[in-house]
Each structure stands twice: as structure tokens, then as C-alpha cells.
Amino acid sequence: MMTKLAAALILAPSLAGAAEIELASRVERVTVYPDGAVVTRIGKAELVQGASQIVLRGLPTTIDPASIRVEGKGNRSFSVGAVDVRLTPGEARPVLDAVIEDKLKALRDEKAALAGRSSATEAKRATIERFAQIGPDKLGPDGKALPVADWAAVFDAIGTSLVRVHDELRAVRARADDVDAEIAALERARPPTLRSGAPKRDVAISVEADAPVAAEFAVTYRVGGAGWTPQYEARLTTGSGAEKPAIDLVRRAELRQRSGEDWSDVALTLSTTRSAGGTRAPDLTPMQVMFFEPPIAAAPRPTRSTVSAIPMAPDQMARGKALAEIDGDAATRPAPVPRPADIQTAQLEAGAYQASFQVPGRVSIPQDGSSKTVVLSQNRVEPTLSARVAPELDETAYLEAAFTHDDIAALLPGAVALHRDGSFIGRGQLGLVAPGDKVALGFGADDKLKVSRAPVRRRENEPTWLGQTRTDLREFKTVVKSLHAQPVKVTVSERVPFSESTAITIETIAGQTTPPTEKQVGDKRGVSAWTFDLAPGAEKEIKIAYRIRWPGDREVTYAPQPLPRPSLGAH
């Protein structure tokens, strides 16, 4: 009879006199979160009649004892009781490789000798160069002039000596570079060093059976020192003629782990849930307004509450497609046409609050913190192309591609590598994008749009008597000219200062300002936008003029304000 049991973690003393049975286990499944991982180990054990303990030895100290969950099944019924977590000294492991260390010592000694030879050769070259600076009129006996017939021999001797010294110095430096490369390679080849006697954790599971049982166990626990970060690649094809623009968007995950155990040939799941955060929103305390009284003692700093997180469970593994066999005689069939390789992507499981990706096949991730990257998804979208320019700061138009994210899983914040028509143009940043949100990615400068901005007028009056109002009038003109062979959509952004003081008034001069298509861009006060279609060879002129008034006995200052909290999408 097969039974499946789930035991909640209870930290309790071991049963006195119970037999200990060591459980040989292996890591079967790992679910990696952005801030941790959940590991599932499986193993088999032969249970004896009566009470006993199943012991997993040598688990990492980073496990969270409260997260341990035990499931068991067997050919007979049995019960699972308390789970005891013990801290034990780890086994001492050799931290040095004698062959590598001896080779490193010999190379470092040779490096020191080469440094000495290099210094001596440099000194020799300096001596020859100083000798070469002495004129032939002082090289003869007793400091007299050297006979003209001997000058050629002196010049040849100096030149030959310098050439020889330069050859020696070049050889020494070349060997020094080779030694440095060998030292670096040996240091990378060193075995991972663990501190001798590093502590481990043993997990003892109390079981009881009425008769001997062939049992199987699955032990799940959370570990720290692991996580994954999203990475993206966006390849834009701008299109030409009948071809529409398209973006190939690839979503990747970079994994690293230093949990203290190797994950070899495991079923891997990536989850968007943050497992180490809080579980509920912070509580707001009442706030009272009162008159300020000097404090007698420093008040304690308020603590920051954590954010909520909801756990999730892993799904089944996705299997790749099998390759089709080609029938027929190899001598008579035509040569196969080369085809691009298929990219294995993860299977997406999206829930109401989180998403998980089942990585195909089996994966190995060592515990040394080295990076491993897997492809989660890739899709093609049709963006809307436009150009955006902020001429006050930069008289350059930048190509922007916008599209709606219609995938069922959100895009987490991360870096995005940007390519335009096959050329890498730089890196951008992708914000949190929920399904249905608009994404706008910048793809570098548009050199076929010529932008110029110039001040047209500035007039500032100085008060001549007490109480007179001061004014500052400013007017600017921006011209955008298209060198494209097709119409382009352009957005120009400008700003007008704002004030929260009733004593300072700011007015836009209507007759001298081009009406904007968007008076306030997002939550940016005073920032307006002009969006228009520009025909091939055409140009567009935008004017903006404003007047500031304030009391003459006061001074004003222009202070840039911090941007509002970023909205969803890319920047």
C-alpha cells in the first residue's frame, strides 16, 4: 500500500534509542527565485520495524529550518514525526593542489627575476643614451676632441648597443607577459577552496513502522545565496518598402548560486516570486500635528517595513522536440539545406500573482557563483517607430520603437541589449512591464533628422524704485528638418519653469508660442510636447515664449526638480 505523507517542521529532541538510517539523496528539483531557491532532494531507505530516524547529512548551513517539508511513500504504511535540524562540523577538505602551488611558486620567482633583468636593462639603455648625448669634441683622450675619422665608429657602436638593449628589453617584457598569463590561468584552475571544518546541517526525520518498509523520501527546503536576474535583447529591423518594422525580443535569466551545494543535472524552474520578502503590507500608524518642542533626547529611528511576497509551486518540465530522421540512400539524396538552429525556450506557467518558467532538459549549476544563462522566451512584435528630441538638452533626434506587451507574463526590471538593423548600439533599461502595458525602447541617434535650437529674444528689466515688479521674458525657436526618404513621426519636448509661490507668476505668451499637442507630459509639471508627421525634405518650426514676474526686492533661482517616480516601461 502506497502512502504519501507531509510532515510539518517541528524542532524537537531526537527519540531516545532510535536507530539512525542514513539517507543517500540527490538534488532532483530546484526552483530559483530572485532572492533564494527551494531545493528538493529525493532518496530511498529501508525502514526497520519500530521507531527510527532517517538522517540527511552534510546539507548547507544556508537552509531555512522553518521551510523544511518532508514527503514519504512506501510499500507499507508508516508515519513521519518530528524533524530535527542539527548543526555539525563539516569535513575538512584539502584547499591546495601541490602541483599547481609548486608551479605558481616557480612562475612567481621567475617573474621577480624578470623584473630585475628589466630594471638592469633599462639602466643600461639610460647609460648608453646619456653617453650618446656627449659630443665627439669631448670623447678623445683627456677630454679633447675625437679625430673625425673615428666618429663613424662611435656612432655605429652607440647604434648597435641601443638596438641590442632594445631587443633584450623586448624579450624580457614578452616573457614577463607570458608568465603573467600562465599565473592567471593556474589561479583560475585552482580547486574551489572551502574553509576546513566548515559547519554543515544534518536533518533527522523521526519515522515509525509496524513492519520493515521500502520507503522513498522527498525533502524540500529553502536556501539562501542563490538568485536570478532578468536580461533582455531587443533586435530592431527598421524595414524598408513593403517590409514592416519588427523587434525580436529575447528574455533571458542569469543564475548564480553560492548555497553550499552543487546542483548537478536537476530539473530547474525559475519563479518571479520573491521568497525572502514580507508577507503583508506595512501598517500605517496615526500621525499627529503639533507645535515643535526641542527634544530632550534623540528619538529612535523608525524601522522600515518589508514588502509582501506570495510563494508558488513548481510545474512539470517541458520537453524539447525530437529531430526527424531522414530516409533514403545517403549517396543519392541531395545535400541538406542549412537551417538555423532552434532556440530552446522555457515553458511559461502564469498565475494570477506570479509566473514560473520550466527550463527544458536538465541543468547543472555549480556552487562557485559562476554565471549561467538560460533563454526563457522569445517573440516578435511590430512596433511603431518615431523620433524623440529634447533640444534644450541635446540637439539630437533619437529613434524610438513602441509596442504593447501582450505576453501573459510581466517583464521584470532589467538591462536590455539594443540592436538596430544588425548593429549593436548600446544598452538600455527595462522597467516593470505588466501585460497590456506600452513599452518604448530607444534605438540610438537618428542622423537623418537635423535639429537646431536657438534663443530668439531675452529681455529682463531691473526695478528703478522700491516695490517695482521684475520681469524676465525668454523666447526660443526649434527647427526640425527631415532628410529621410519617407515620412517620419517626431515628438519635440520643451519645458517652461513653474512656481508654487503666489508671488511668482509665469505666463506663456500665446501669440509667440506654437500650441503643443500635449500640455503636460505625464506628471512632469511644465513639460510640454509637440508631435507631428514630417514629410521627406520638410522642416517644422516650433516656438516657445514665456514671461516670469516677481517682486523687485527678491531674487529668484532656477532649480531642476527630481523626476516623478518612473512609470512602467523602458527608459
DSSP count for the chain of H helices, then E strands: 2, 27
Looking at the fold, whether 432 and 462 belong to one and the same domain comes out as yes
473 domain-assigned = yes
Looking at the fold, whether 474 and 528 belong to one and the same domain comes out as yes
pLDDT tens for residues 356-371? 888 888 989 988 888 8
53 domain-assigned = yes
What pairing do the DSSP bridges indicate for beta strands 263-271 and 24-33? Answer: parallel
Determine the Cα–Cα distance for residues 380 and 382; give it in Å rounded to an integer. 7
Looking at the fold, whether 84 and 215 belong to one and the same domain comes out as yes
Looking at the fold, whether 465 and 547 belong to one and the same domain comes out as yes
Structural domain span for residue 134: 98-189
Looking at the fold, whether 79 and 177 belong to one and the same domain comes out as no
Contact 261, 221 (CB under 8 A): no
CB proximity list for 197: less than 8 A, separation 6 or greater: 89, 90, 91, 92
pLDDT tens for residues 416-454? 999 999 999 999 999 889 889 999 999 999 999 999 999
Looking at the fold, whether 398 and 519 belong to one and the same domain comes out as yes
453 domain-assigned = yes
Looking at the fold, whether 170 and 33 belong to one and the same domain comes out as no
Looking at the fold, whether 536 and 482 belong to one and the same domain comes out as yes
Looking at the fold, whether 60 and 202 belong to one and the same domain comes out as yes
322 domain-assigned = no
* Mean pLDDT value across the chain: 80
pLDDT at site 556: 84
3-class SS of residue 154: helix
pLDDT tens for residues 489-534? 999 999 999 888 888 999 999 889 999 999 998 888 889 999 999 9
Q: Domain boundary at 209, 226, 243, which?
A: 226
Looking at the fold, whether 85 and 178 belong to one and the same domain comes out as no
CB environment 64-76: b (16+ within 10 A), e (fewer): beebbbbbbbbee
377 domain-assigned = no
pLDDT at site 153: 74
pLDDT tens for residues 269-288? 998 887 666 666 677 777 66
CB proximity list for 511: less than 8 A, separation 6 or greater: none
343 domain-assigned = no
364 domain-assigned = no
38 domain-assigned = yes
User: What average pLDDT does range 187-200 have in this prediction?
Assistant: 66
pLDDT at site 12: 39
Looking at the fold, whether 401 and 496 belong to one and the same domain comes out as yes
Give the total number of structural domains in the chain. 3
Looking at the fold, whether 449 and 501 belong to one and the same domain comes out as yes
CATH number at residue 170: 1.10.287
